Structures are given as C-alpha cells and as structure tokens.
C-alpha cells in the first residue's frame, strides 16, 4: 500500500479538498437562479417569509466557492437580520436556519470550538421543530466537522447515514444527497471498507452528472485514493488521470498537485523513476498557490527522487531552494538536509556535506516533531559522509546510535544498509573479523528479505496452481460424464437411424429436385425483397431521426413553457404583494392574499414539472410536502398548528393535479384561518391515498367544526364555490362533515376527468 502522508494528514487533506468542492457544487447548483429569485422577493416580503429569505441568502453567501471578507461580512449581516426577525416572531424554522448559518460562518472563520457548539444547537432546534430538511443539513455539516477533527469514524458514519436517509425521502437525486454520499464514502474508506466507498462515490458522481456539474475533479481524486489504498494501481492511475483532466479544465492547481503526487507514488512502486520524477516536477510547478508547508513537501520529495536517480546537480538546486524557504522547526527541514548531504557526498563535495551535517543533526536532537524513520535516515547519511572522508570514529558514533534504533524498529531495509555500512567501516580500518561478522549479518538479513519475498511468491503460485488444477479436474470429469451420456444415447439411436436412413434417402432425392427449383425461385424473390427493404429502411431511419429531433425539441419547449409559467405566476404574486401595500381595506387585502395562495399552489406544480424529466405528471408526496412548507412559512403556524401529512407516493396527471392543488389550498387556508379561533394545539390532517383506480383526499382538523344549522347550498363564498366546481371537474364526490372538527373528503377515479360543463355521478353532500 502506498502512503504519501501519515494517515492523519491524509484525512485532513481529503476533508479540506472536499469542502472546497462541495461549496463549489452547491454554489453552482443553487446560487445563480435561487439567489436572483430571493433578492427579487426580498423587497416585498414580510414577517416569517422575509426572515426565511434573509437566512437563505446568508447560506448562499456562506457556501460560495471563492470567499473573501466581504462575502463573510454579507453572510453575517443576513444572519443577524434573520435571527432578529425569527426571535421577534417566534419563527421556529428561522431559528433552526439561524443556527445552521451560524455554524457555516464559524467554519469560514476556522473557529472550531464555536462551530461544534453551533452544529449541536442546530440539530437540537431542527429536531425539536420537526424540520427534517434542516436536521439532514446540520447532520452532514457535523459529520464533516468530525472527519476534519479526526474523531471516531463510527460517529461520522451514524451522522451521514441519518442525513442520507432523510435526503432519499425528501430530496432524492439532489445535490445535497450527492454531497452527503461523497463524505460517507470518505468515512467508509477510513473504516477500510473500500468497495462500499467506491460504490458511494459512483452514486454521487451519477447525481452530479444529472445536475450537469462540471467540477468533478475531487470525486475522481477520491476514487483514485480508494483504489490506491486497495492496491489496485491500474484503476488508481485511470481515475487520477480523469481527475487531472477536470482539474486542468477548471484551473484547480491544488487537485492537480495531489493527483500528480499519487501518480508519482504509483510509478515509484512500479520502479519507473523517470516517470515518477516527471510527475513530481509537474506537481511542484502547480504548487505555487498551495500553503508553504505543502510546497516544501513537494520540494523535499522531488529532491530525494533526484538523488535516488543519480541526478545530483538537480537535487542540489532544488533542495537549496527549499532550505531558503523552510523554518528549522519544520519537520521537512530535516528531510531536506538528509537528501542534500547524500547529494554532496555522491558528488564528492565533502566540505559542503560537512556544512549540512551540523544543522541536520541539530534538527534531530531537538526532537518532538521528527519521526523515528527520519532520525534513522539522518544517521545513515552521516555514516556515509564520514566513511567517504575517512573519519571513522565519527562514523562509529552514528553506527552505535543506529544499532538500537534500527533493530528496535525492525525495519529490514534499514538493517541491511546498517550492516553493509558496518562492513565497509571495519574493512577500511582493517578489522576483518568484525567485517566478516557484519557481512554475514548483512547476507542473513538480505537473504531473509529475499526468502520472505520468494515465499510469498511461491505461496501465491502454489495457490494459483492448485486452483487451476482443481478447475481442470472438475472440467475433465464433466467432459467424461458428457461423453458417456452421449455414447449411451448414440447407441440407442443407431438402430433407429439405420432404419430411417433408407426411407429418408428416397424421399430426399425426390425432394431435392423440387427444393432446387423452389430455392432458385425464392432466391430471386428474396433479392428483390431485400432491395425494397433496404430502400424502406433508409426512409424509416430518416423519419425516425426527424421524429427524435422533434421530440427532443418538444420536451425542451415544454420545460421552458412550465418554467416561464412559473416565473410569470411569481411575478403576478409579487405584483399583488406590492399592490397590497397601497390598500387599507382589510377585506381587499384578504382577497389579494387568497389569490396569492391560489397562484402559489399552481406555481409549485409548474416548478415541479420543469425540474423533473416527467413533463406530464406530478409526484404528489413531494408536491404536498412543498405546499405545506409554504403554508407553514406564510402563516407562521409553528407552535400552535401541526400539519400531519399521509400521502402515498404516486404520479398524478397535470390536468388533475392543478384542480387538486387549488382544493388543497382552499381547504388548508380555511382551516388555518377559521378552525382554531380561541384554541391552541391545532392539528390538520392531510391524507391522499390511492386504492387501485380510486383516489381519496381528506382534509381534517380538530377545530371548531361546522355550525349545526350550516347550509352548504346557501353558502356563496368564492372558496366554497371554487372547491365544489373543481370537485365537479374532477368527477369527485365532495363531502363536508364534522368529525371532532371539520372534515373535507373527495373520492374520484384517477382516470376520470370531466370537463367544466359536465355533472359528476354523485352530488355534493354535507354530513
């Protein structure tokens, strides 16, 4: 397995790049269209609607790809305004959104302590208010925080699982779901569940492609890392190169550097030093925008690669550049001096090598941050220096320091080098018995390494041989069984064949003459039919191509029409809202508000149509969920009215969805306005169920209900007339009754849709 960094540093790198990518995706997916609409609505919005718009704008600014101080300040300004209004209005969802926005701002400021507290508060407030979408958003943010801080991956696993379950229910195939899947995959990789991590990343990529996201370098980079950890280097190279193409197109230097580093590690494993160096050079050339520590890492790695490939002059140039920029307290400092010392010794620049020796050993003696492996390499470099300059006593001191460290760590490659250097030292001093002893130990350790490698190869070959042998034996047995079975059948059929052969021979001769004549005739007919079919096929293909182009254009035009209808309805709603500010008559204001609600219910239908691929039907569960969120925001029902939806998951034709949406609008708004006067703890049940071809809608509340002497036929309000007329249009039975409150019930056939001039089979009734 290749490990370019310690595991903790790799985790931080993955999470940091993922945060950049996720912000980019969310900003690209939502900011342009949603931000323009929200800014347009802000000037005329009031109360809870205004609070929600302010907080939504703050979240958009917090999720921008490239942040500057003005963006953070703008997000903070929207946060303060939205929180103030939500607190004053006791707006529950606004308070939950405020906590989430606060956490995002602390993330931008790198304030981890306040970030953790804000995320915990956001989840608590969202759960208490029943705002499942915000629960999922906060759980995803908290999972990312736990990954960044390298907390137990099992905790992050639970958070991502709960968020994904919510998104799959309320927002399937959304960018937020892909974002959560992407981080869930990173968490699975940390748990060594590589196959599951790869599967989750492929699901996230499929969703991103549906939304036409062009910033895909990070998911492919994650795929490359997963395959590296699996040891599947061929797929790792493939996905790293795909990530490189996206990063080059999007000018993402950070991801380019890390992909080139992955490729360099793989080619080091494949023992291709020239290719490895070329990728390290590319990584360093793209590292100018990275933090200083990352640039020094690439410099040290490239310099070490030059030394191992005997390109000493290039190594000296690169390593001296790194030392000019590196602090003595940086762990990279020691690596730079080790490689530089080896380069000077190899080029016989012993004076320069002795000048690098002192700061190298001083950095090792400071301790605290240096790895044991780095200390071993520094002592080995010192031994090579003093052997080359024949300073044998100093070489002995470093060999003595290496004796316990190398054998305690039991790193066989270091032990081999140590014994080889000890042999060279004793040989130079004339201690031949000790030299022979060290040479024997050198051969013992190197032979054990080679033997271990050979044993692994032999074991692998033995397993492969035994597997192939078993497969061959099974195949041979199967063939023998088949041959015996065939032989038995042939013996039984031989007698019958001999009798039938004589009879068939005479018949075949007679038929042969007839068939030859018929065959020639059919050949001519077939040739003529083939020519005619070829001409028809060309015409059909041309027509099919034209029809496909027309169908594609029609679908695009339908989506555009629905989009424009939705935008026009929003403009009309905004105009009515602006008009209401000039009216003082409460009755006129109520009429305008009711008209806005009706148009909003229709607008939601057109919005759903252009956002999905189904241009003729509406998913009623998703539609009613959005409609209830609208009523909750508009009427500020949090705290005294609860909506309890029970809606089956099915698609309804647009011609029935529009009147049904208007009926829902009238029934729910009437319940909110009149059912709970003087009462608290109101509940509105909305049921829409499908049984075969029958659909049943029920809107019931636990409010005051209808008066005993209520006369439906004598009622002439527009809302009631509208519900009765739309019920007739649906061909539905429309009932009003008291069941601990008012209950409105419609039952109709899904396939039946009357024109506005027909009468339904059953009359409207009041119970």
Closest CA to 331 of 376, 294, 369: 369
Out of 48-62, 67-81, 188-202, pick the least confident.
67-81
Within 13 Å and on the Cβ side, how many CA atoms surround 8?
A: 4
Pair 94, 86: CB distance under 8 Å:
yes
DSSP letters for 526-540: HHHHHHHHHHHHHHH
Q: Is 461 exposed, middle or buried (0-12, 13-18, 19+ CB in 10 A)?
A: exposed
For residue 645, the model assigns a pLDDT of 93
In CATH, 619-766 is 3.30.565.10 = yes
The Cβ of residue 248 has, within 10 Å, a number of other Cβ atoms equal to 15
The CATH architecture one would assign to domain 216-290 is: Alpha Horseshoe (1.25)
The CA distance from 373 to 371, in Å, is 5
In CATH, 312-430 is 3.30.519 = no
| C-alpha triplet 552, 553, 555: angle, nearest 5° | 65
The CA distance from 235 to 222, in Å, is 12
The CA distance from 194 to 226, in Å, is 6
Per-residue model confidence as pLDDT tens digits over 457-478: 434 334 444 444 555 666 666 6
Closest CA to 306 of 269, 360, 270, 347: 347
- Per-residue DSSP letter, 498: H
Q: Where in the chain is the domain with CATH 1.25.40.10?
A: 216-290
Please list the residues that pair with 765 across neighbouring strands.
735
For residue 683, the model assigns a pLDDT of 92
Asked if pLDDT for residue 282 goes beyond 80, the answer is: yes
| C-alpha triplet 139, 140, 143: angle, nearest 5° | 85
Give the number of residues written for the chain: 767
The CA distance from 508 to 515, in Å, is 10
Tell me how far CA of residue 393 lies from CA of 387, 397, 421, 425, 479, in angstroms. 10, 6, 13, 10, 75
Closest CA to 221 of 15, 50, 464, 68: 15
Asked if pLDDT for residue 298 goes beyond 80, the answer is: no
Average pLDDT over residues 690-694: 86
The Cβ of residue 548 has, within 10 Å, a number of other Cβ atoms equal to 10
The CA distance from 70 to 451, in Å, is 64
Collapse the DSSP code of 683 into the 3-class scheme (helix H, G, I; strand E, B; otherwise coil) and give the result: strand
Average pLDDT over residues 219-239: 85
Asked if pLDDT for residue 220 goes beyond 90, the answer is: no
Asked if pLDDT for residue 754 goes beyond 70, the answer is: no
Q: What is the mean pLDDT of the chain?
A: 77
Asked if pLDDT for residue 700 goes beyond 90, the answer is: yes
Name the pairing type of β-strands 765-766 and 694-701. Answer: unpaired
The Cβ of residue 205 has, within 10 Å, a number of other Cβ atoms equal to 19
Name the pairing type of β-strands 617-619 and 694-701. Answer: unpaired
Segment (H or E) for 747: strand 742-749
Pair 668, 655: CB distance under 8 Å:
no
Out of 29-33, 35-39, 435-439, pick the least confident.
29-33
Q: Where in the chain is the domain with CATH 3.30.565.10?
A: 619-766
Segment (H or E) for 501: helix 432-580
Q: In sequence order, which residues have a C-beta less than 8 Å from that of residue 509 and are 6 or more positions away?
A: none
Average pLDDT over residues 338-365: 82
Pair 383, 357: CB distance under 8 Å:
no
Residue 734: φ, ψ to 5°: -110, 120
17 vs 232, more confident: 232
The CA distance from 732 to 752, in Å, is 9
- Per-residue DSSP letter, 1: -
Confidence of residue 746 (pLDDT cuts 50, 70, 90): very high
Tell me how far CA of residue 271 lies from CA of 261, 267, 274, 276, 298, in angstroms. 15, 6, 9, 9, 19
For residue 9, the model assigns a pLDDT of 40
pTM: 0.49
Average pLDDT over residues 512-520: 85
Out of 158-167, 316-325, 616-625, pick the least confident.
316-325
Residue 553: φ, ψ to 5°: -65, -40
The CA distance from 218 to 18, in Å, is 7
């Amino acid at each position: 397995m290749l490990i370019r960094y310690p595991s903790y540093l790799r985790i931080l790198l993955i999470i940091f790049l993922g945060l950049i990518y996720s912000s980019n995706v969310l900003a690209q997916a939502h900011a342009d269209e949603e931000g323009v609409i929200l800014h347009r609505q802000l000037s005329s919005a009031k109360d809870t609607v205004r609070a929600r718009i302010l907080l939504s704008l703050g979240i958009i600014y917090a999720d921008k790809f490239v942040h500057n101080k003005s963006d953070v300040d703008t997000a903070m300004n929207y946060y303060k305004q939205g929180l103030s209004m939500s607190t004053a209005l006791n707006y529950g969802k606004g308070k939950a959104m405020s906590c989430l926005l606060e956490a995002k701002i602390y993330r931008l400021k790198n304030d981890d302590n306040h970030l953790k507290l804000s995320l915990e508060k956001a989840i608590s407030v969202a759960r208490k208010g029943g705002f499942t979408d915000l629960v999922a958003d906060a759980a995803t943010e908290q999972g990312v925080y736990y990954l960044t801080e390298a907390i137990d991956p099992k905790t992050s696993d639970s958070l991502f699982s709960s968020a994904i379950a919510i998104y799959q229910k309320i927002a399937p195939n959304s960018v937020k779901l892909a974002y959560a899947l992407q981080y869930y995959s990173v968490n699975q990789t940390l748990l060594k569940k590589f196959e599951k991590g790869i599967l989750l990343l492929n699901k996230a990529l499929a969703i991103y492609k549906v939304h036409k996201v062009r910033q895909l370098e990070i998911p492919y980079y994650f795929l490359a890392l997963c395959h590296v950890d699996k040891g599947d280097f061929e797929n790792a190279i493939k996905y790293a190169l795909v990530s490189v193409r996206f990063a080059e197109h999007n000018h993402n230097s950070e991801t380019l550097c890390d992909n080139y580093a992955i490729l360099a590690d793989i080619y080091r494993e494949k023992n291709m030093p020239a290719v490895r160096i070329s990728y390290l050079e590319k990584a360093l050339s793209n590292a100018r925008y990275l933090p200083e520590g990352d640039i020094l890492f690439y410099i040290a790695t490239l310099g070490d690669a030059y030394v191992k490939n005997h390109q000493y002059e290039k190594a000296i140039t690169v390593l001296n550049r790194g030392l000019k920029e590196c602090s003595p307290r940086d762990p990279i400092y020691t690596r730079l001096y080790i490689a530089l010392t080896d380069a000077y010794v190899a080029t016989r620049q012993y004076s320069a090598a002795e000048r690098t020796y002192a700061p190298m050993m001083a950095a090792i003696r400071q301790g605290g941050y240096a790895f044991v492996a780095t200390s071993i390499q520094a002592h080995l470099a010192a031994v090579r220096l003093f052997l080359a300059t024949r300073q044998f006593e100093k070489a002995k001191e470093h060999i003595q320091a290496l004796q316990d460290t190398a054998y305690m760590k039991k790193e066989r490659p270091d032990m081999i080098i140590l014994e080889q250097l000890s042999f060279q030292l004793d040989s130079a001093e004339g201690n031949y018995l000790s030299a022979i002893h060290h040479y024997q130990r050198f051969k013992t350790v190197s032979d054990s390494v080679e033997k271990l490698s050979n044993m692994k190869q032999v074991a692998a070959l033995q397993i492969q041989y035994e597997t192939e042998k078993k497969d061959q034996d099974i195949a041979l047995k199967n063939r023998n069984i088949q041959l015996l079975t065939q032989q038995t059948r042939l013996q039984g059929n031989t007698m019958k064949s001999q009798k039938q052969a004589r009879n068939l021979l005479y018949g075949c001769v007679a038929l042969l003459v007839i068939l030859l004549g018929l065959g020639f005739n059919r050949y001519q007919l077939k040739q003529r039919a083939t020519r005619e079919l070829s001409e028809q096929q060309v015409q059909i293909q041309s027509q099919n191509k034209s029809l496909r182009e027309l169908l594609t254009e029609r679908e695009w035009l339908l989506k555009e029409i629905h989009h424009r209808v939705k935008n026009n309805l929003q403009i009309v709603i905004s105009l009515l809202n602006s008009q209401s500010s000039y009216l003082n008559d409460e009755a006129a204001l109520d009429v305008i508000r009711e008209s806005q609600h009706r148009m909003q219910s229709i607008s939601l239908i057109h919005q759903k149509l252009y956002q999905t691929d189904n241009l003729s039907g509406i998913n009623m569960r998703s539609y009613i969920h959005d409609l209830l969120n609208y009523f909750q925001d508009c009427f500020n029902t949090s705290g005294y009215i609860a909506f309890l939806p029970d809606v089956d998951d099915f698609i309804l034709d647009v011609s029935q969805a529009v009147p049904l949406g208007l009926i829902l609008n009238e029934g729910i708004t009437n319940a909110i306005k009149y059912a709970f006067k003087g009462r608290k703890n109101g509940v509105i049940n909305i049921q829409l169920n499908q049984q075969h071809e029958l659909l049943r809608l029920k809107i019931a509340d636990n409010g005051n209900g209808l008066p005993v002497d209520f006369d439906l036929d004598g009622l002439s309000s527009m809302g009631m007339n509208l519900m009765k007329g739309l019920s007739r249009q649906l061909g539905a039975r429309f009932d009003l009754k008291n069941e601990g409150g008012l209950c409105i019930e419609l039952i109709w056939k899904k396939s039946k849709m009357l024109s506005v001039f027909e009468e339904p089979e059953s009359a409207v009734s009041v119970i």
